[in-house]
Amino acid sequence: MFPTDLLSLAEDVVARARAGGVMLATAESCTGGLVAAALTSVAGSSAVLEQGVVTYSNEAKTRLLDVPPALLEAHGAVSRPVAESMAAGARSRAGVDVAVSVTGIAGPGGGSADKPVGLVHFGLAGPGGVRHVERRFAEADRQAIRLAATQQALEMLRDALS
């Protein structure tokens, strides 16, 4: 289901989390659960993954992750403040050590001049606070953008566990 490099990355994340006794959660929009799916492809991931939440709609982001409606209205779902709020909400709601979030535009439609197809915002919430990464993926199709975003989220988790 996943390319070998993504599976290796997921294995590394699970191994590092297990070694550190760290519990994880994911909050995903455009990846539709691919980050959690990659992690759960690894045997033993149940020891470190508390939950993964797919919050595709704004209402779900508010209901399940406590993203303030005003934040969504002011910045839109695909934005730094929403990615950070999603990660913080996932960490708080799941009661975990580290949570990663993904929100973006995978296409082929839905983009604009300000927010083109391939724009993805990531949040990572951990003991040291919340950090953000913005990526603009040039991949040509929806699945390629979703896989590239999954890789970025896994890399952020790996780096947080170093």
For residue 150, the model assigns a pLDDT of 98
Model's pTM, two decimal places? Answer: 0.97
- How many CA atoms, within 13 angstroms, populate the side-chain half-sphere of residue 115? 16
Contact 127, 146 (CB under 8 A): no
pLDDT value at residue 87: 98
Place of tokens 């799916």: 37
pLDDT of residue 142: 96
pLDDT of residue 152: 98
Find the largest Cα–Cα distance for the chain.
44
Sequence-ordered list of residues with C-beta below 8 angstroms from that of 121, at least 6 positions apart, any chain: 78, 79, 80, 82, 83, 102, 103, 104, 132, 133, 134
Q: How confident is the model at residue 1, as a pLDDT?
A: 80
- Which regions in the chain score pLDDT beneath 70? none
